[in-house]
Structure 1
Amino acid sequence: MSATSTIIIPTTAFYDAWATTYDTDGNVLQHLDSAAFKDITPLLFSVLQKPVRLLDLGCGTGRNTTKLRGLLPPGSTLYAVDGSEGMLAQARASMPGEPSGQVEVKWGLLDFTRQQADLDAFIDSAPVDVVISTLVVEHVMLDQFFAVVARILKVGGWAWVTGMHPDMGQSRAGFRRDDGVKVHGISYIHGLEETIVAAKNAGLKLVGNVKERGVDDEFAVQELGERAEKWVGKRLHVGMLLERVL
């Protein structure tokens, strides 16, 4: 196989293979996602005065999980789910210890698209107050994804959902192996309007405006790394705050 080859493998196997380098390979979209998370969460979590139950759906390497635990009121429960054993192992290893009586973290290895009964049991068969799902929707069909989010989220609860911006075109999540082969999982290109409609059809209302981020100029490249240079002037990341209304 040549050094310029590209392969597509099942998504779980893809993330198992990417797990050890996911946080360190300079992926621009991950940097933008972390910036969006940093901007949105302090405002949202500042109003939480009592313990809540939060589901980190597709927690990956725990990039957000540790931050979420620090934001939740004492006595809260944080459910962290991922379908990749490799990614979940990274998340658990990266989570520092926490004094008892603070926020309980529960880890779940399951594919929420195929193991919905297991997901229900994992979250104690009761709707959660908050769902956080970042850079996950690219790998699933919209109707399927939002049906799960709406089903496990209580009425009046909210979800923060992020993904690739359709302006990225045919680009998809991927990494380069040591032998030069580019590896991708199964991905879908979702338009902004169809995403909003799919969420609405599931009983989720967009709160405010869609949040779009990209690489604005050469100064942004200095912050995001050299891999951002080809994306100057492009929108790469989209975030949506949704409320469960039905």
Structure 2
Amino acid sequence: MLTLSNVIKRYPGHPPRTVLNGVSLELREGECVAIMGESGSGKSTLLNLAAGLDKPDGGRIVFDGADLAALDDDGATLLRRTRMGFVFQAFHVLPNLSAAQNVALPLWLNGVPAADLTVRVKAALASVGLDDRANTLPRELSGGELQRIAIARALVHRPSLVLADEPTGNLDHDTATRILPLLRDVTRESRAAVLLVTHSAAAAASADRVLRLTRDGLAPYAPPLERTL
């Protein structure tokens, strides 16, 4: 599904700054992998590389058999539009569109016929428990509802890969604990793979695997030991 092999990413400077050094990962169909790390550790850079929004300075990234670094801008855009879904910390819903219209955006961009579009949007909203909010504008929705709209939008075009960047960062604790299991349940049904980056162990708890991003690549996440008296 998605394979990162010894990926290196540097940013210009004197000397250049290495953000990712030898990152390797294999993500399988239907699997959810959470990448943990502190702010500035390179998590978002890793996600941008996996999305083909940036190119590595070393190593290789292959998604569904395509070497992302070998694609031109049009090819990478088409791959993202048809085969990937995105869930962001800031939701990124369009304020002047209803919930249903926001969810429909990927289908419009992919030229899905109107009759099929309506059916798929309704099913996507139902899958996140918002079928009764289809005509509601974003300003009338809570943070948790907005994130559920974002999840429905990310999945409505049936992507193979969902990339989630700190998806609970703008949510209160109680709402956040409901959103991640929902994302996991909905993606399991569609067999989509999920790559989730977060600094929160609680947010990563619903993943099949949790890894920590370090200066030397990815390592299994080991929760800190509880102190005893």
The TM-score with structure 2 as length reference comes to 0.35
Greater relative CO, 1 or 2 (CA 8 Å, sep 6+): 2
